[in-house]
Chains A and B, each alone.
Chain A
């Protein structure tokens, strides 16, 4: 497809200024917060469902690939454009269309920023629960595409547990509502198939989400341990004792030091592992949980437990945690953040293994993770200009992935597969499993035009190998997306 012709056709359905196509203008759209980059043929900024539909009809007619994009905070490459393709940005679709207090729902456009929604409904005593660390920037459309999680997933679940309905424009331009305010619409649950499909099955143009009442009480603790495995043992025993806090987050010393340098939130400099525990709900519930949690932490070897005394102190604790990945930029020019999940009981063992890998490959691995869910985020720090180091990072990363899968875990808890993990998908799934997933995609996208190069292995070998010289390392670190 000739680019000029494509642009002309796109400009026949959208205003000229909403079709970006000059090379110098395209360059800012070439990447998301992952390592990959690719220039598209054009970027379009539709405002309405009808415009999205027209663009998609055109794309199908011309057999041009389409990649939808929210804020571009994704870490796995889901919003990296397709060569000669259309990048469809939802950034102009950012209205909150309805707040229904009686039914505790909100109807939003996909470009609405996650945190904006909670801010908007705060005065009603409500909030939107999924809270990715990038929530001040990421869009709800992107959250739906990735089935995003966050620190409070432990108690409240991920995006899929909070979406009630979607208006979707499917490949070809057909518009349909899946799900809705009333439950149990007959038919297959297309909505659950679309959430987390990484923009491979269509473009979401309206999202109906659940809102929750703000808990009446919240308490936040900082439990300080000599090392990460001890902190992990505390997590296992809290959950093993039938307590599900709102959040259980661990940071190792590399991370807490970097955060301290960047944000001065008061984390101890000499502790091997720090565990953030947040409990919320009714006051009596907290009263029942508090003592158990504190004594379980002590049994696991906590040397000190600090209590956030005020809302401001609590915010400071979270400011540090949510700014963790950004702070790592101080330690090395590049980082490779992983997202494996293991059964929670395997945490101490796997974190010991990660430490061992770091030593064997002589690299720094910074750990900050959703321990309560067993969702690891090892950050392998490196300098992309050092070819030998890059090779060690790739090999170390693969050992960690392999160990997590062998422990009964998964490749990704919340960041998605995208391009970043696609070559590892056949470590987790057999060919039959992947073929079944391809069939699911084809049911919506028979021409395979939607985000066509993502999720599935290409057979070109581990993606991490793509972390090679010349991939603009400056962008890779500046893109501080924090999960």
Chain B
């Protein structure tokens, strides 16, 4: 009944074709209605309507990050931004681009590439992932060491508050301190403080050279020691990966651990950096060294970023962090702790930024399964609890990015309440007073 009334009210705002009953499932909950506004004005009007009707709303872009977050307390409408797909402003010489939220990362990058430019934000599944979703989920990869994360790249934004009000923050210039950073606050808020309508990014010239190296090590400590030494030669990014991760990435295992290092910049500089890094790797005991040039390098890193992002629902994916210099301990500890799991657990760690991604493939589960048996669940839970404790011991935190509903019920996706929680709750109350946006999916039940 509610659905019918809402359907007819939404039909007054958007065309019939923009309303569907086909919406994505979030942690087992499937919204009865899907709506895909075709303009920013329509998006605002739809949110205002959902606010008035106090309807639990799941905003989504390409739907590639819907596993992130605690299970929503309710999910009545899926609000898709996919039809907001215009690149609304791009002046290459200004190194600034503005796009609607539903523009996919791949489309944006292709447009930028025509002018030898790039948005240095690494996003899994770029063909489907949208820029709005990438910003809301604060997606990033190892290149953040050089270019930062979305908060460093987003210069302005238009977003819709929970009550349907369209708000502008920041601007379309590369340097701006006029007004407060509401657009920075939307980064990583998972759409719980507003629905991103457009975003303006600072972009960069494509590097003249882009090369990567792979070193194979038998000992993880040697890989991290090499990473620390390579840092003196100013890599753009680095990753350490275990055998399972290598299998996923290359279909082959080069050694117990590999260190991947990326250099970007001027031709001559990159050539020298590659030579210097090779010497460093050899010094640290690397068994083999391979160099990947240009397109191969970019492909290699996209594979790393995609790792674990698009797998079966029974799999577990988490991201942990630590003080960068201590990541080696977290990595080594978790690899040891994963041994009794009896499943494929793969690890990649970012030694420069201090983050780690782990995917666990539930060996017995079938692709169509949405749950695992009690023993498997208990093993996963124990491992996650241990992993979180280890991350915290080294100054970091752990966020469960994918898990079954049962696992999410047993293990707090976000972990203990952060400092300043009261202010976060105040912000939620201020920007989404009816709590319609992704209710319950964010930190501490926000």
- The chain A residues found within 8 Å of chain B, CB to CB, are 100, 102-103, 146-147, 149, 153, 157-158, 160-161, 168, 170, 174, 176-178, 180-190, 192-193, 195-197, 213, 236, 239-240, 242-244, 281-285, 287-289, 341-345, 370, 373-375, 408-417, 421, 425, 428-430, 432-434, 436-437, 439-444, 446, 455
Is there contact, CB below 8 Å, between A414 and B171?
A: no
Q: Could you tell me the distance between the alpha carbons of A283 and B94 in the complex, rounded to whole angstroms?
A: 26
Is there contact, CB below 8 Å, between A443 and B175?
A: no
16 contacts between A and B (CB under 8 A): A157-B148, A160-B181, A181-B323, A183-B144, A186-B418, A189-B187, A240-B93, A282-B234, A341-B171, A341-B176, A345-B93, A370-B175, A408-B171, A428-B171, A436-B182, A439-B430
Is there contact, CB below 8 Å, between B354 and A213?
A: no
Is there contact, CB below 8 Å, between B321 and A345?
A: no
Q: Could you tell me the distance between the alpha carbons of A29 and B209 in the complex, rounded to whole angstroms?
A: 53
Determine the chain A residues whose CB is within 8 A of the CB of B418 once the complex forms.
185-187
Is there contact, CB below 8 Å, between B321 and A187?
A: no
Is there contact, CB below 8 Å, between A282 and B265?
A: yes
Residue on A nearest B395 in the bound complex, by CB = A182
Residue on A nearest B149 in the bound complex, by CB = A183
In whole Å, how far is B194's beta carbon from the nearest beta carbon of chain A?
9
Which of B148, B175, B204, B353 makes the CB contact (< 8 A) with A375? B175
Interface residues of B in 79-115 (CB under 8 A from A): 91-96
Q: Could you tell me the distance between the alpha carbons of A13 and B22 in the complex, rounded to whole angstroms?
A: 62
Interface residues of B in 405-434 (CB under 8 A from A): 414-415, 418-424, 426-427, 429-431
Q: Could you tell me the distance between the alpha carbons of A160 and B168 in the complex, rounded to whole angstroms?
A: 20
Given A180-B395, A189-B187, A441-B180, A408-B116 contact (CB < 8 Å): no
Is there contact, CB below 8 Å, between B173 and A440?
A: no
Over the window 168-200 of chain B, the binary record of Cβ atoms lying under 8 Å from chain A Cβ atoms (1 yes, 0 no) is 110111111111111011011100010000000
Determine the chain B residues whose CB is within 8 A of the CB of A282 once the complex forms.
234, 265-266, 269, 272-273
Determine the chain A residues whose CB is within 8 A of the CB of B321 once the complex forms.
182-185
Determine the chain A residues whose CB is within 8 A of the CB of B272 once the complex forms.
282, 284
Is there contact, CB below 8 Å, between A345 and B427?
A: no
Determine the chain A residues whose CB is within 8 A of the CB of B151 once the complex forms.
160, 189, 192
Is there contact, CB below 8 Å, between A196 and B177?
A: yes
Q: Could you tell me the distance between the alpha carbons of A429 and B168 in the complex, rounded to whole angstroms?
A: 7
Is there contact, CB below 8 Å, between B93 and A236?
A: yes
In whole Å, how far is B25's beta carbon from the nearest beta carbon of chain A?
24
Is there contact, CB below 8 Å, between B173 and A188?
A: no
Determine the chain A residues whose CB is within 8 A of the CB of B322 once the complex forms.
182
Q: Could you tell me the distance between the alpha carbons of A352 and B208 in the complex, rounded to whole angstroms?
A: 34
Is there contact, CB below 8 Å, between A183 and B169?
A: no
- The chain B residues found within 8 Å of chain A, CB to CB, are 91-96, 116-117, 138, 144, 148, 151-152, 161, 165-169, 171-182, 184-185, 187-189, 193, 204-206, 208, 228, 232, 234, 265-269, 271-273, 319, 321-325, 353-355, 391, 394-397, 399, 414-415, 418-424, 426-427, 429-431, 443-444
Is there contact, CB below 8 Å, between A184 and B397?
A: yes
Given A181-B395, A432-B167, A455-B354 contact (CB < 8 Å): no
In whole Å, how far is B326's beta carbon from the nearest beta carbon of chain A?
8
Determine the chain B residues whose CB is within 8 A of the CB of A174 once the complex forms.
422
Q: Could you tell me the distance between the alpha carbons of A452 and B265 in the complex, rounded to whole angstroms?
A: 46
Residue on A nearest B416 in the bound complex, by CB = A186
Given A239-B93, A239-B95, A288-B267, A188-B180 contact (CB < 8 Å): no
Determine the chain B residues whose CB is within 8 A of the CB of A213 once the complex forms.
232, 234
Determine the chain B residues whose CB is within 8 A of the CB of A444 once the complex forms.
423, 426
In whole Å, how far is A122's beta carbon from the nearest beta carbon of chain B?
17
Residue on B nearest A370 in the bound complex, by CB = B175
Determine the chain A residues whose CB is within 8 A of the CB of B144 once the complex forms.
183
Determine the chain A residues whose CB is within 8 A of the CB of B187 once the complex forms.
189, 192
In whole Å, how far is A236's beta carbon from the nearest beta carbon of chain B?
6
Determine the chain A residues whose CB is within 8 A of the CB of B421 once the complex forms.
187
Is there contact, CB below 8 Å, between A433 and B179?
A: yes
From A239, A370, A410, residue with most partner B Cβ within 10 Å: A410
Residue on B nearest A424 in the bound complex, by CB = B178
In whole Å, how far is A182's beta carbon from the nearest beta carbon of chain B?
4
From A157, A342, A434, residue with most partner B Cβ within 10 Å: A157
Is there contact, CB below 8 Å, between A412 and B177?
A: yes
Is there contact, CB below 8 Å, between B177 and A146?
A: yes
In whole Å, how far is B439's beta carbon from the nearest beta carbon of chain A?
16
In whole Å, how far is A284's beta carbon from the nearest beta carbon of chain B?
3
